[in-house]
């Protein structure tokens, strides 16, 4: 199982905030492909410039292998204060 | 050093008094309080989203960096999450140092970082609907001053 979290405008776009995928995708790119297949608009938004991914709360650039039980977060540009 | 994310409103004056109390070697305390703006009636609520277990760790890391870089005696960051009304405080940053320059610069850097690099997502809601706020070009160049 892989836990997927969406933040900010991504969760509004997808209509969900957290989803658990089973069987778990083997890599971040496989996860992106599966999400894009189910929701092409979300797939496009996840690939947009400025959207970051974290695996188990560590920022990842490019692809990464996903262990079983991994938590993957997709984060649009950040804005606090 | 302390970093707190909280849903509950806070009173900046009380935070500053507590932060300043009992210091014998600190010569300077600087604080910044950010308030939610009504935008001329366009904004009725602000919603701040964070990633628990990630946002707090990232802020603690940058606060530790600032503490080392500016030789601070202490740092406090308090940031609201959830639904915030105009006029309420969103963020409070306080820095303590032997001398004022370090305390001012550290507070300035921490706020620049919080505006565009800390993992928060901010939505404004009002009579005309809701929109997600992304960092402005100015926010990004402000943060890059410290790299």
Question: What domains sit in chain A, N to C, each tagged with a CATH number?
Answer: 2-75 (3.10.20.30)
Q: Which chain B residues are within 8 Å of A18, Cβ to Cβ?
A: none
pLDDT band (50, 70, 90) for residue B140:
confident
d(CA B22, CA B36): 31
Mean pLDDT on B63-83? 97
Q: Which chain B residues are within 8 Å of A76, Cβ to Cβ?
A: 121, 132, 134
User: pLDDT tens digit string along A10-67?
Assistant: 999 999 999 999 999 999 999 999 999 999 999 999 999 899 999 999 999 999 999 9
Domains of chain B are 2-144 (3.90.1170.40)
pLDDT band (50, 70, 90) for residue B91:
very high
SS3 A50: coil
Per-residue pLDDT, B53: 94
Helix (H) or strand (E) holding B21: none
pTM for the full model? 0.92
User: pLDDT tens digit string along B10-56?
Assistant: 999 999 999 999 999 999 999 999 999 998 999 999 999 999 999 99
The shortest C-alpha distance from B131 to chain A (Å) reads: 8
B24, two tokens: 């014998």
Q: Is the pLDDT of residue B134 over 90?
A: no
B38, two tokens: 């009504």
Question: What residues 31-90 of chain B have any CB closer than 8 A to a CB of chain A?
Answer: 34, 48-49, 51, 53-54, 57, 79, 90
Of A12, A54, A79, which has the smallest distance from its Cβ to B134's Cβ? A79
Strand locations in B36-135 (E): 45-50, 74-80, 82-84, 89-97, 120-126, 129-133
Biggest alpha carbon–alpha carbon distance for chain B: 52
Query: What size, in residues, is chain A?
Result: 81
The shortest C-alpha distance from B48 to chain A (Å) reads: 8
Q: Is the pLDDT of residue B137 over 90?
A: no
Of B91, B121, B139, which has the smallest distance from its Cβ to A8's Cβ? B121
d(CA B108, CA B142): 9
Task: State in Å, rounded, how far the first CA of chain B is from the last one.
Answer: 22
B20, two tokens: 């300043």
- Total beta-carbon pairs less than 8 A apart between chain A and chain B: 65
């Amino acid at each position: 199982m892989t836990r997927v979290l969406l933040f900010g405008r991504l969760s509004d776009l997808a209509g969900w905030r957290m989803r658990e995928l089973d069987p778990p995708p083997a890599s971040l790119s496989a996860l992106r492909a599966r999400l894009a297949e189910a929701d092409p608009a979300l797939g496009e938004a996840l690939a947009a410039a400025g959207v970051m991914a974290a695996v188990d709360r560590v920022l990842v650039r490019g692809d990464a292998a996903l262990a079983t039980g991994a938590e993957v977060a997709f984060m649009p540009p950040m804005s606090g204060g | 050093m302390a970093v707190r994310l909280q849903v509950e409103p806070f009173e900046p004056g009380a935070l500053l008094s507590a932060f300043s109390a009992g210091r014998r070697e600190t010569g300077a305390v600087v604080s910044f309080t950010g308030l939610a703006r009504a935008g001329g009636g366009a904004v009725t609520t602000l919603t701040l989203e964070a990633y628990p277990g990630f946002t707090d760790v990232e802020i603690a890391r940058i606060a530790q960096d600032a503490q080392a870089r500016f030789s601070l005696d202490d740092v406090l960051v308090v940031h609201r999450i959830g639904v915030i009304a105009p006029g309420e405080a969103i963020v409070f940053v306080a820095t303590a140092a032997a001398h004022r320059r370090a305390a001012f610069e550290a507070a300035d850097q921490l706020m620049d970082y919080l505006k565009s690099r800390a993992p928060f997502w901010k939505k404004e809601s009002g009579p005309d609907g809701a929109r997600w706020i992304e960092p402005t070009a100015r926010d990004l160049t402000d943060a890059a001053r410290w790299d």
